[in-house]
Amino acid sequence: MRDGTRSTNHAATRYHGAAVVAASWLAVFALFGIRASFAMLKDPISLDLGWTQSQVTFGYSLMMVCYAVTAFFSGTLLDRHGSRPVYLIAAVLGGAGLFTASGVSTYALYLVSFGLFAGICTGMLWVTSTVSVRTWYVGERYAGMWGVAFMGAPLAQFVLAFLMARILVENDPTTWRTGMALLASIVLAALVGAFALARRSPEHYGLSPAGELRAGSPETASKQRAAQAAIPAGEPVLPLDQGWTVKQAFSIYPIWGVMAAFLANMMGEFLIWTQVVSYWSVDLGWPHSRALGVYGVIGLVGVGAMPVMGRAADRVVRACGNEALGRKRMLLAGAALGAVACALLLLSAHGMTFAVAACVLFACYWAIVPGGVVGYTGAIYGRVGLGRIWGLATLIVMGIGPFTGSFLGGYFKDLSGTYTLSLVFALTTFAIAFTLALTLPVRQPARES
């Protein structure tokens, strides 16, 4: 009877867990669909409405600010009520905001509809998708399942690029309105689907998360002993306790360490996302179509890299017998890949092969770091309260990193006349991220009452 109950619970966990991963896939698809589409829509918007590029781009900057601020509040809502109400609010605000933006004629309405409403929508999606997957999958299963969910990001870039290329007409800038309305429909449909598939925590259904590393296994116990031997002596140990408050979590080093490493990665990442095409086309004189084609390698490789690198990360965790140690090692690998990719970009002048190789490495970096920081945080603080903890971390990191990295990329270009200094700066930030990841503790620290 006991084996039958265990089998039934396992089947139920797989069923509900698959629904959570599918909901997160749809949420990530909507989030990155909005981000990817802006790069294609901003020039037609500027031409049609007579706004400067800085005016149009300010709407995106406002969206990212709202994204960062909303992340914390969505994490709190997630912890209290689950992901379903978060996805519903995001669907309403995202759909309404983008539909309204497709018909704007005034700048103020553009800022409200695209900057504010779409910004709140996107801010509700990242924390909710990552944390909900982490709630159902831990230990040796989290990264692989998050990799499946994160496949929605590169696929969104491909699908939206394909659709926009057939909607936007070069000599008719007004066609951006059709493209924005289509984006609104896609986002609304995806998030309604996410709402329908969303689940609460496993405990709500009388279940346990999948992937826990069990000390009862002789093989796992041996690996855990080996992992403990690699941990510096004297670090305090906390039993697998959960329920950290935000104040308790932020009173000790692990969250600050992983935030600092993530921030350094984000500065380098967003500098590359915003400047690399210009580096190839302006500094190296490549045709714009070739630069865009090479840049698309990141998305193409990313479709396969997300689940593959996720499974690789889970194998590292299994080999370590200590999830925090395994996630830390993957964060080190991710930052190293980012630094090497920047070095290869600097060699692009000697052949397109270097640029393609850099894009492949960036896709692997992308598959490791964004989900890996959540995995490490969850390994240290547990699942209860993770939405609030990571929501505040996201507010801080995403409120600083993307803007700073993008701005400095342009600033160094203005300062030096080329994008070379910008790429060197990005390489430096990845090296700093690697150094910071080295400092991350791998035992759960003592929690103050």
Buried b (16+ CB within 10 A) or exposed e, 189-209: ebbbbbbebbbbbbeeeebeb
Mean pLDDT of the chain: 86
Residues 173 and 41 in one domain: yes
d(C-alpha 383, C-alpha 180), whole Å: 37
Distance CA 131, CA 154 (A): 20
- Which has the closest alpha carbon to 89: 199, 192, 204, 200? 192
Whether the CB-CB separation of 368 and 331 falls below 8 Å is answered with yes
> What count of other Cβ atoms lies within 10 Å of the Cβ of residue 165?
10
What's the pLDDT score for residue 167? Answer: 86
* 192 and 244 both lie in a single domain: no
Asked whether residue 253 falls in the same domain as residue 113, the answer is no
Quote the Cα angle for 148-152-154, to 5°: 110
Q: Which pTM was predicted? A: 0.80
CATH number of the domain that 132 lies in? 1.20.1250.20
Contact 268, 427 (CB under 8 A): yes
Residue 85 shares a structural domain with residue 192: yes
Question: Cβ–Cβ contacts within 10 Å for residue 80, how many?
Answer: 10
Q: Which of 183, 200, 217 is at the close of a domain? A: 200
Report the alpha-carbon distance of residue 47 to residue 382 in Å, rounded. 50
The partner residues of 172 in beta bridges, in order of sequence, read 169
The total of structural domains in the chain comes to: 2
Q: Is residue 268 part of a domain?
A: yes
Provide the 3-class DSSP secondary structure of residue 50.
Answer: coil
Same-domain check for residues 262 and 130: no
Crossing angle of helices 2-49 and 53-81, rounded to 10°? 160
The answer as to whether 231 is a domain residue is no
Name the residue with higher pLDDT: 236 or 142. Answer: 142
248, 388: one domain: yes
Do 278 and 143 share a structural domain?
Answer: no
Cβ–Cβ < 8 Å for 437, 331: yes
Residues 92 and 144 in one domain: yes
pLDDT > 80? residue 444: no
- 322 and 430 both lie in a single domain: yes
Looking at residue 154, what is its pLDDT? 87
- Looking at the DSSP assignment, which residues form a beta bridge with residue 169? 172
Q: Which of 86-100, 151-165, 220-234, 316-330 bottoms out in mean pLDDT, i.e. has the lowest? A: 220-234
Q: Residue 113: inside a domain, yes or no?
A: yes
Q: What are the b/e assignments for 90-126, b being 16+ CB within 10 Å?
A: bbbbbbbbbbbbbebeeeeebbbbbbbbbbbbbbbbb
Please report the pLDDT score of residue 340 as a whole number: 98
Is 348 within 8 Å of 282 (Cβ atoms)? no
What pLDDT is recorded for position 5? Answer: 55
Is the per-residue pLDDT at 234 higher than 60?
no
Residue 448, domain member (yes or no): no
291 and 185 housed in the same domain:
no
Domain identity same for 287 and 425:
yes
C-alpha Rg value of the chain to the nearest Å: 22
Between 95-109, 201-215, 237-251, the lowest mean confidence (pLDDT) is in: 237-251
What percent of the chain is modeled with pLDDT above 90? 48
**DSSP β-bridge partners for residue 210:** 137
Contact 373/436 with Cβ under 8 angstroms?
A: no
In the listed set 147, 172, 200, which residue is the last one of a domain according to the structure?
A: 200
User: Between 292 and 209, whose confidence is greater?
Assistant: 209
Confidence at 1, pLDDT banded by 50, 70, 90: very low
Percent of the chain scoring above 70 in pLDDT? 90
Sign of the alpha-carbon dihedral angle for 242, 246, 247, 250? positive
Q: Residue 216 domain-assigned?
A: no
Burial 68-79 (b: 16+ CB within 10 A, else e): bbbbbbbbbbbb
Strand partners, 137: 210
Predicted confidence (pLDDT) at residue 211 exceeds the cutoff of 90: no
- Look at residue 305 and tell me if it is in a domain: yes
Residue that has been written with the tokens 């629904």 in this structure = 19
What span, in angstroms and rounded, lies between the C-alpha atoms of 29 and 422? 29
Structural domain span for residue 287:
240-438
Residues 87 and 31 in one domain: yes
Instruction: Write down the pLDDT at residue 274.
Output: 75
pLDDT above 80 for 75: yes
Establish if 446 belongs to a structural domain.
no
For the chain, the distance separating the N- and C-terminal CA atoms, rounded to the nearest angstrom, is: 41
Query: What are the structure tokens assigned to 379, written together?
Result: 């390994």
235 — pLDDT class (breaks 50, 70, 90): very low
Q: Is residue 271 part of a domain?
A: yes
